[in-house]
Structure formats: C-alpha cells, structure tokens
Amino acid sequence: MRILIVIALVLGSVACETAYYDINEKFGRLKNDILVDRVEDAMEAQEEAKEEFKDAFEQFESVVGVTKSELKSTYNKLNDAYEDAQSRAETVTEKIEAVDDVSSDLFEEWQDEIGQISSTNLRSKSAAQLRTSKTRYASLLKAMRKAESRMKPVLTSFRDHVLYLKHNLNAQAIASLKGDLGGIETDVGRLIREMEASISEAQSFIKEIESP
C-alpha cells in the first residue's frame, strides 16, 4: 500500500511538472528559460545565505564578555541567529534541487529531440552542443553542492553552542564559545569563499546559456 502511495505521488508530481512546462511553453518560455530563472534564484538564495551566515557569526562574536544578567537574552539572540541561518540553508538546498530538476528534464528532452533531426550534420552538431552543455552544467552543480556542503559544519557549530548555552547559562558557557570562535570563523570564511565561487560560476553559466 505504501509503495502504491509513493508511486501515485511521483506520477502526480510528474504530471504537475509536465503541465507547468506546457503552460510556460505556450507563453514562449522554454526549459532553457526556466533553467536560467532557477539558476538566478539559486544564486540569489546563496547570496542571502552568505550574508545571513556572516551576520550570525557576528552575533556569536559579539556575545563574548556579556554580563550574567544578559545570558538569557544572549541565548535568545544566538538561537534566533542559528534558526535564521538554518532557514537560509534550507532555501539554498531547495533552489539547487529546483535547478537540478529542470536541467534533467531539459537534457532529456534535448536528447530525445536530437533523434528527430534528419540531417546527419545538424544532428551531430546538436549532440556535440548537448555534451558541452552537460559538462558546463556539471561544473555549476558541483560548485553549488560544494558551497551547500560548507553550510553544515557551520550550522553544527552554531547549534552546539546555542544548546550548550541553553543548558549552561553561565560565564563558563561564554568562555567555551570564545575558545571556539577561531574554528567557527575559519568554517564561515571557507563557506563564504565557496558561496562566492558558486555565485561566480552561476553568473558565467547564465551568460553562456543566454549567448547566441
């Protein structure tokens, strides 16, 4: 029964996606256009996540040296920063998945349509272009996934210290955070560099796919 439910959900999802593509095509928006839009969305999500993680680290950095009376409000502030960063990270993952979905559909459609080209010369050229586009996209996806993976250790550090502070509202908890700031800063710095590299890769990809 569970397998039937899963199959039904998958088929329903495929049907919705097909209808979505059909409606867009009626308005002149092909899968290429949708892919560009989704890459732009993913790029924007990464930019926002990058800033959110920077802000969150600054919040963690600023609590060192707070007074005992400020510990509760400090915990609330750090917990909010952690949850905001986590939410941005989830959005980045969702946007990357959306990019990957449409790219798979685009390349599958492209491959199918190559078989409909009667001219051997044009068929060969289209196949070569498909291979190039797949290689270029693989590079983009790799950069996006690499940046995405860098968020996890930072989120883990944020969560660990938020929970430790929650359980130990005392100066010792703040001292522990202070001792670990260097490692967190290194992870955040690495994340920001990977995000910027991914954003740059996305910009190049969009420029290439939109060029005549």
Per-residue H/E/C for the chain: CHHHHHHHHHHHHHHHHHHHHHHHHHCCCCHHHHHHHHHHHHHHHHHHHHHHHHHHHHHHHHCCCCCHHHHHHHHHHHHHHHHHHHHHHHHHHHHHHHHHHHHHHHHHHHHHHHCCCCCHHHHHHHHHHHHHHHHHHHHHHHHHHHHHHHHHHHHHHHHHHHHHHHHCCCHHHHHHHHHHHHHHHHHHHHHHHHHHHHHHHHHHHHHHHHCC
- What mean pLDDT, rounded, does the chain reach? 86
Question: pTM for this structure?
Answer: 0.84
Count of structural domains within the chain: 1
In this structure, what CATH number is given to the domain that contains residue 75?
A: 1.20.120
Higher pLDDT, 6 or 39: 39
- Which residue range(s) make up the domain with 198? 2-210
Write the pLDDT tens digit of every residue in 19-52: 777 676 666 677 889 999 999 999 999 999 999 9
